Amino acid sequence: MLTTTSYLVLGLVGHLGSPTSYELKRAVADTIGGFWSVPHSQLYAEPIRLTALGMLTEEQEQGGRRRRTYTLTDTGRAELDQWLAMPTDEGTELRDLALLKLYFGGQAGDGAVQRVAERAAEVHKRRLAGYERLVSSPPPNVDLHQLSILALAARYEEEAVAFWSAVAADPDLT
């Protein structure tokens, strides 16, 4: 019934207190987005569903932008708690278009693998720099668990930079 997106929203609302959809969007873009992305339209649609289910309450501004702010209900809090406490057997899915292209690299034309690899190396360098900036000067209301995740993500990005640099240097992996 509830999807992962639902729990993500419940968790964020719990963490942020009484955010608007736009604030959810910002929070996702800043941090979670790296390992669980959600398009912003979902961050408008999902709170509405959750409100209908009694997991959130909605309060709308009168006048101005007429923004809606959401807060957890006791039901929503209980649902979130129970989900957080349940271990999962799913591992990590390294969803990555460039890896998918490399996977089929044997079928690619001349130079294709190298060009893909060069771009991927750049992308991961940028992300790595971003994470390092975040870890060294974290925004307010980022806690230790969240920081540790950023550190793990940063380590992955390091691996990825090394990996793609090697592929770019020797696209046929001889």
Partner DNA sequence: GGGTACATGTAATCAGTTACATGATTTA
Partner DNA sequence: TAAATCATGTAACTGATTACATGTACCC
Min dist. Cβ of residue 67 to DNA (A): 4
Count residues contacting DNA (CB under 7 A)? 25
**Which of 68/161 has CB closer to a copy of itself?**
161
Smallest gap, in angstroms, from Cβ of residue 88 to DNA? Answer: 13
Distance CA 69, CA 13 (A): 9
Tokens 């729990």 belong to 7
Q: Alpha-carbon distance 75 to 55, whole Å? A: 5
Give the closest residue to 108 by CA, choosing from 160, 54, 171, 163: 171
Amino acid present at 150: L
Which of 21/128 has CB closer to a copy of itself? 128
Contact in structure between 5 and 46 (CB atoms under 8 Å) = yes
161 binds, among a copy of itself, DNA, none (CB under 5 to 8 A by kind): none
Residues 1/46, Cβ–Cβ less than 8 Å: no
Beta bridge pairs of residue 69: 20, 59
Of 90 and 172, which CB lies nearer to DNA in the complex structure?
Answer: 90
| Three-state DSSP string of 41-55 | HHHHHHHHHHHHCCC
Taking CB under 7 A as the binding criterion, the range among 41-49, 101-109, 124-132, 158-166 that sits at the site for DNA is 41-49
From a copy of itself, DNA, none, which one binds at residue 106 (CB under 5 to 8 Å depending on kind)? a copy of itself
Which position among 14, 16, 49, 105 is part of the footprint of DNA (CB under 7 A)? 49
- Residues at the site binding a copy of itself, with contacts judged by CB under 8 A: 4, 7-8, 11, 14-15, 31-32, 34-37, 80-81, 83-109, 111-113, 115-116, 118-120, 123-124, 127, 143-146, 148-149, 152-153, 155-157, 159-160, 163, 167, 172-173
